[in-house]
Amino acid sequence: MQADRLSGGGLVDRSAPLPFSFDGEVYEGFEGDTLASALLANGVRLMGRSFKYHRPRGPLSAGPEEPNALVTVGGGAKADPNVRATVQELYAGLSAASQNRVGSLRFDLMAVNDLLHRFLGAGFYYKTFMWPAAFWEKLYEPLIRRAAGLGALSGQPDPDEYEVAHAHCDLLVIGSGPAGLMAALTAGRAGKRVILAEEDFVLGGRLNAESFEVGGKPAALWAAEAAAELAALPNVRLMRRTAVFGVYDGAVYGALERNADHLGAPPPGLPRMTMWKVHAPRAILASGAIERPIAFGNNDRPGIMLAGAVRSYVNRYAVLPGRRAVVFTACDDGWRTARDLRAAGAEVTVVDARPGAGRDEGFRTIRGGAVVDTAGRLRVSHVTLRHPGGTEDSASADLVAVSGGWSPALHLTCHLGGKPVWREDIAAFVPGATLPPGMHVAGAARGDYTTLACLRGGAAEAASALGVSPAEAPEAEDGAAGVSPFWRVKGAKRAFLDQQNDVTVKDVELAHREGFRAAEHMKRYTTLGMATDQGKTANIPALGIMAELTGRTIPETGTTTFRPPWTPVPIAAFAGRHKGKHFHATRLTPSHDWAKENGADFVETGLWLRAQWFRRGAEKGWRDSVDREVVETRGGAGFCDVTTLGKIDVKGRDSGAFLDRLYRNTFSTLPVGRCRYGLMLREDGIVFDDGTAARLGEHHFLVTTTTAKAVQVFRHMEFARACLWPEMEVSLVSVTEQWAQYSLAGPKAREVLARIVEPGFDLSNEVFPYMACGAATLRGGVPARLFRLSFSGELAYEIAVPARYGHGLAEALAAAGAVPYGVEALGVMRVEKGHPAGNELDGRTTAADLGLAALGAKKSTGFIGREMERREGLQAADRPALVGLRPVDPSAKLLAGAHLLEPGAAPKTETSLGWVSSVAFSPSLGSSIGLAFLKGGMARTGERLRMWDGLRGADVAVEVVSPVFIDPEGAQLRG
């Protein structure tokens, strides 16, 4: 039973009834309704409770500026909190619930806060929850957190899909009221590519909410015809349900399209929302204006609405929000509401704050009067009226329509730093002279309030933006809109400004008394304008009141800056598809599947997944697998996938000289067919990365990098080539993904390799010694590159094949008798051998710190980092340098990150001698071993120190040893 639905008119489809529910009650609305209009049609006025005082609230507006009517739509994981009922489109089966209540909406237990309002004013939290400090964490914060907030999140992962997309056009038109439609018609008829973005689900803006005519026909019909013409133009894209929320550099506009929020059962594959990045060299901002309320006593009761919103409900939704209406206005626009309400059957009293305003139109009229107070528990029932002489009387009323004038919705003009300017004649801020590049403002958004001015302005701005001729504007009303600034009724009790955050005139007065008078201070002290609606209806009246209190003008008092977004945008919409596994790509090596079939557990290394260890048979913990892999490799042969190391192909006549400038050591002297370890420094002298370079030809090197730094090293080398030495003849190509590469290590590595390469390939030490490299052919005719490099300290080879042969090579290596080992065993063996890795190349260490000062020490040519490496501080004798550590008790465990101290020293920053960088359990030595940076370095070999870790409670006696724990002479790797 839609008791308050008008029998005719409006843009609702009475042939399409839609059942929906609110707080469990089932109602019926029509196609074309919002949730708010459908509830109003059903006689429901109470839709929410306020934030702080839990006062009963109904809708104040009929649009996106709504502060009060916030509800949760849907349930379970899909529950969407703080949805404005005034913009939520109705669909069959919509289920909504009220928020911020304990108990029912009608009997909210937290409403006791309203009785305590005297104590809960602005600054209450700051003043009350100050002491004792110990109470904050345990008592105050949980208390405040429980009481604060409106709707609650579901706490479950969002099941919906979101999309991010780009769109391009010659002209973006923001808003589809009279100015926007004319701008789009002007550009569209001229053949320009136009995007018309409208937040609402119907085009036309205010034209749908008014009873006057445009071009000799009802305004809404004119708008529908204009929209139909635009829809027929192939160069025009109409985007309804799309809010342009931000302006960004380079003429990019952020827009949120709600694709599925109006559908009860969205088709599969349709995203819930799309985040559009609209590239528009020109834009027309036709965002209209927002009506301002007037602050009077208890002006927040359900049934008190903005006058323009009342016209929207009557004319667009065919809903009569009240039968005994009081229109309280300070401008001519309020009188339109009085007329439309009377035409719809209501009994209307007009209270105009301006003495002598308005003609006699047969209403009960009080000129120069005011509404001072209201009564009614869950809906307004009476108002107290003040007459010009000061006498007051009470009148029965179930609807109060309020208009304090209009403020241009100029938010988007401020996003790139534009400052609004005050226009005294319309008592409003309008866009300033500095607009975002390419943006023009038309219609009410720039302070043109008559319909004809909007129509003409939209056409003219589009014409001037694009250099085309303007579309001809139809006839329309052009009455001057008289307005006088009127912010509040003096002497009123509890007059609300920011209804969502429950900020009253009294709070602004308190802010003034306590010195928070600048607009930004007032905002933060009172929280005015800081709720989800960002004070769209509250900011200007509050500023007006502060100006009155300080005796300054409004421009002197200031305005707050508007930042993106104009309307709340879910973070999920920004993320789009970048969630879960889609957040990053996953890089897999060619033998990933083989590793998986052979029991590998994987570890993420950047985007790569690398085999961490290979579980065998009854192995219970990872250590069992890792210890076995080390023992089997050092006792026989093992192989490890090292495809993820960066590989850079360097070619050209100057390749050698180029690498000399990039590395601390020299490569131009490297013979063809040989490899060399290389250390790359940053320009500030700190070690950047390490790797090897293999000379494959006179003018051809292959450089490897660590897995972690592959991207940065290539970027750095390209910088050196293109920006520092463009005259050098050298070219760089990253070939990381083109080659699958495996390290084959252990005393039996040569035997295993011999079973894989074509018979006759000479692997003897004489022909292919340590640090040799060259081309080879594997059995089956697979082309390969061989490098005799060792990270483990064993006799070892690295074998590279084109990526497509990687899987097959892993199979062949296993069949030939090598056991696979993962990056953990690789790490154990490199610690045993004392090779620095990521933990040692940590962006703070120099070559000398790493014990690598001899590398390139005799080099005569310059290289990146050479001069800065010689800085005094980097040469200091007491810099921590690389050493090895063993626990005195072999069963004790070392910890990476622990500090090193003198045996008797107190654990303090000043007494720390260094830190442990890497640790491993060495199966070869049967004890925990570590690499560490120690003041004095290797000179302290043999000393006993204390390894102390306050976080993990470790205190272990350790001995300083050589970082090379096994085969210090290198007999094994050269064997």
Partner 1 sequence: MRIPCPFCGPRMLEEFVYLGDAALMRRPAEGATCDYVFLRDNPAGRHRELWRHEGGCGAWLVVERDVTTHEIFGAALAEARDAG
Q: How far is the CB of 891 from partner 1 (least distance, A)?
A: 48
CB 49 within 8 A of CB 100: yes
Task: Please say which residue, 817 or 862, places its beta carbon nearer to partner 1.
Answer: 862
State which residue, 112 or 724, has the beta carbon closest to partner 1.
724
Residues counted in the chain: 975
Q: Is residue 465 within 8 Å of 496, Cβ to Cβ? A: no
718 vs 842 by CB, closer to partner 1: 718
Measured in degrees and rounded to the nearest 5, phi and psi for residue 84 equal: -75, 115
**Considering the complex, what minimum distance in angstroms separates the CB of residue 544 from partner 1?**
32
Torsion of CA 654, 655, 658, 662, to 10 degrees: 180
Q: Which is nearer to partner 1, 314 or 435 (CB)?
A: 435
Angle at 854 between CA 850 and CA 860, to 5 degrees: 130
Q: Name the token pair of 442.
A: 């038309």
As a whole number of angstroms, the distance between CA 151 and CA 51 comes to 10
Gyration radius of the chain over CA positions: 38
Written in H, E and C, the secondary structure of 250-315 is CCEEEEEEECCCCCCCCCCCCCCEEEEEEECCEEEECCCEEECCCECECCCCCCEEEHHHHHHHHH
Which residues, 6+ apart, have CB-to-CB distance to 123 below 8 Å? 510, 511, 514, 525, 526
Nearest approach in angstroms of CB 566 to partner 1 is 20
| Local structure of 30: helix, strand or coil | strand
Q: Which is nearer to partner 1, 732 or 809 (CB)?
A: 732
CB of 283 to partner 1, least distance (A): 16
Q: Whose structure tokens read 């939520």?
A: 88
Closest to partner 1 by CB, 721 or 886: 721
**Distance, CA of 3 to CA of 43 (rounded, Å):** 6
CA distance 303 to 321: 7
Q: In the complex, what is the shortest distance from the CB of residue 568 to partner 1, in angstroms, rounded to a whole number?
A: 24
- CB of 680 vs partner 1, minimal distance in Å: 16
* 122-156 burial code (b ≥16 CB/10 A, e <16): beeeeeeeeeeeeeeeeeeeeeeeeeeebbeebee
Task: Work out how close the CB of 779 gets to partner 1 at its nearest, in angstroms, rounded to a whole number.
Answer: 37
* Minimum CB–partner distance for residue 576 and partner 1 (Å): 12
Question: Strand 700-705 and strand 392-396: pairing?
Answer: unpaired
Q: Which of 475, 867 has the CB closer to partner 1?
A: 867
C-beta closer to partner 1: residue 166 or 952: 166
Q: CA of 544: how far to CAs of 99, 442, 498, 547, in Å?
A: 31, 25, 13, 5
Least distance to partner 1 from the beta carbon of 171, Å? Answer: 18
273: β partners: 162, 258
Q: Which is nearer to partner 1, 452 or 711 (CB)?
A: 711
Phi/psi at 203 (5° precision): -80, 150
Min separation Cβ 661 and partner 1, Å: 10
| Residue 721 beta carbon to partner 1: minimum distance, rounded to whole angstroms | 7
Phi, psi torsion values for 526, nearest 5 degrees = -95, -15
- CA 509 to chain CA centroid, nearest Å: 37
Structure tokens at 313: 């409900």
User: Taking a C-beta distance cutoff of 8 angstroms, is the pair 647, 717 a contact?
Assistant: no
Question: CB-wise, 106 or 870, nearer to partner 1?
Answer: 870
Structure letter (DSSP) for residue 386: E
Instruction: Decide whether 571 or 723 has the Cβ nearer to partner 1.
Output: 723
Which CB, 247 or 492, lies closer to partner 1? 247
- Taking alpha carbons only, the member of 189, 188, 155 closest to residue 173 is 188
- The residues that touch partner 1, with contacts defined as CB under 8 A, are 166, 248-250, 252, 277, 279, 416, 437, 683-684, 715, 718-719, 721-724, 726, 862, 866-868
For residue 396, give the nearest of 385, 382, 411, 417 by alpha carbon. Answer: 382
* In the complex, least distance from residue 719 CB atom to partner 1, rounded to whole angstroms: 6
**Smaller CB separation from partner 1, 177 or 254:** 254
Helix (H, G, I), strand (E, B) or coil at 82: strand
In the complex with partner 1, which residue's Cβ is closer, 426 or 708? 708
Closest separation between CB of residue 707 and partner 1, Å? 18
Closer CB to partner 1, 727 or 766, in the complex: 727
Distance from C-alpha of 817 to C-alpha of 807, rounded to nearest angstrom:
16
Q: Report in angstroms how near the CB of residue 246 gets to partner 1 at its nearest.
A: 13
CB-CB contact of 893 with 956 (8 Å) = yes
Please name the residues in contact with 854: beta carbons below 8 A apart, sequence gap of 6 or more. Answer: none
Question: In whole angstroms, how close is the CB of 685 to partner 1 at the nearest point?
Answer: 9
Partner residues linked to 609 by β-bridges: 604
